[in-house]
Amino acid sequence: MAESRKWDTSYEWKAVTLLGLGFGLVGLDRWIIAPLFPSMMKDLHLNYQDLGNIVGILGLCWGFFAIVMGGVSDKIGRRKVLIPAIFMFSILSGLSGLATGFLSLILIRGIMGLTEGSFCPTSFAATNEASKPDRRGFNQGIQQSAFALFGLGLGPIIATQLLGVVPSWRWVFFIAAIPGLIVGAFMYRVIRDAAPEKSLGESAGGRAWTEIFRHRNIGLCMAALLCAMTGVFVLSAMLPNYLVDYLHLTAGQMGFVTSAIGFGGFLGQVGVPGLSDVLGRKLMAIVSFIGAAIFVRIFIGIGANPMLLFGVLGVISFWCLGVVGLLTGPIATEAAPIGLVSSAIGIVVGSGEIFGGGVAPSLAGYVAQHYGIQNILELALIGVILGIVVCLFLKETSPRKARSRASDALPVESASVR
């Protein structure tokens, strides 16, 4: 039906732009804490394990609510989840600036994870519904790339530069909360719910939940995303302290090097899903994990050379965050049953967040605290190597590849009829 009518391209680009900005601000509010943490440690008397736990609690809460609210948005619509979520996580990000210690900070960030976990799969499903099928991979890449650009690229630069002009790190959180409120107001005016699917035949509850796992790619996406997020979030959470405490870079150099995660990830989350529209989902997933593993190994051997660290870290992030966008975007949505797209994305993202974004940073904090912060890089390397193995078993789902296989099969069928 979608292909038979004239596609609403105007709404498509408005929706993708706003959903991309919204997810970019999720990234900013989530990750701006990492470059601020060296300053926060002194005021709040925190250590590496505390950092891992603070990042981990947000990931755990994000994961559980991604699973729950993905299914809820399939039932009640996207707007009723998206709009409250963006206002709430923006306010909670600002409240991080009022934290007085570990307990208050972990409470605020945990609740923030609930709201961001609600926004994530719902926004992916809304982008999927707004996108013409042939642009699905590209559009979802555009949306997800904003997370890397804002949170991991611009975030460290914004944080370290603002620290030089505001009274304390607390004001950085207050300022970072404002854009989300503005984007939320625009989303309220523009984003609409897709027309309900009449071909569903049954609700999104009961047996329908088990149907999500009938396509083998869902289980494989869950496992592969765990591997990718182990690489991404271990580096994102602990790298600023690694650069300052182990390599003895200045705060400015640290902000510059760490921003490579975001700029490389921005290009990767546009490039990898976009290339998968042409070359296939499975091939790009395997290539991405191989590329990430090679360059993590190279990164381990680099000393205090900011330019070289920036370049290699950017390549790592290109492949690592690129495959995150591919797994949670086109691969997950194309494997989902009709009417359960957000539920499927929620389960995939949720499992990856719980273990890759929740457990892995906490484990990295333990490793850093007890065995030296330099050893966190080995944990990231193990994660991406395991991802190569998992992706070997993916089933190709690219619409363009499917049409190509169908057209190749037609002459054979015609011949058999004759």
State pLDDT tens for residues 396-414.
877 766 666 656 555 544 4
Q: Are 364 and 376 in contact (CB under 8 A)?
A: yes
**pLDDT at residue number 62:** 85
User: Residues with Cβ < 8 Å from 393, sequence gap 6 or more?
Assistant: 216, 220
Joined together, the tokens standing for residue 370 give: 């007890």
How far, in Å, CA of 66 to CA of 84, rounded? 15
State pLDDT tens for residues 79-133.
999 999 999 999 999 999 999 989 999 999 999 999 998 998 889 888 888 888 7
State pTM to two decimals.
Answer: 0.73
Helix/strand/coil for 193:
coil
**pLDDT at residue number 98:** 92
- Low-confidence stretches of the chain (pLDDT < 50) are 1-4, 196-207, 412-418
Joined together, the tokens standing for residue 289 give: 């994990």
How far, in Å, CA of 309 to CA of 246, rounded? 14
**pLDDT at residue number 196:** 47
**pLDDT at residue number 170:** 92
Q: Helices (DSSP H) in 96-134: which residue ranges?
A: 102-130
How far, in Å, CA of 242 to CA of 232, rounded? 15
Q: Region of 248 please: left (phi>0), alpha (psi -120 to 50) or beta.
A: left
Q: Which domains does the chain possess?
A: 10-192+215-404 (1.20.1250.20)
The dihedral sign for the CA sequence 23, 319, 219, 54: negative
**pLDDT at residue number 411:** 55
H or E element, residue 6: none
Q: Measure Cα distances from 393 to 282, 283, 405 in Å.
A: 8, 11, 19
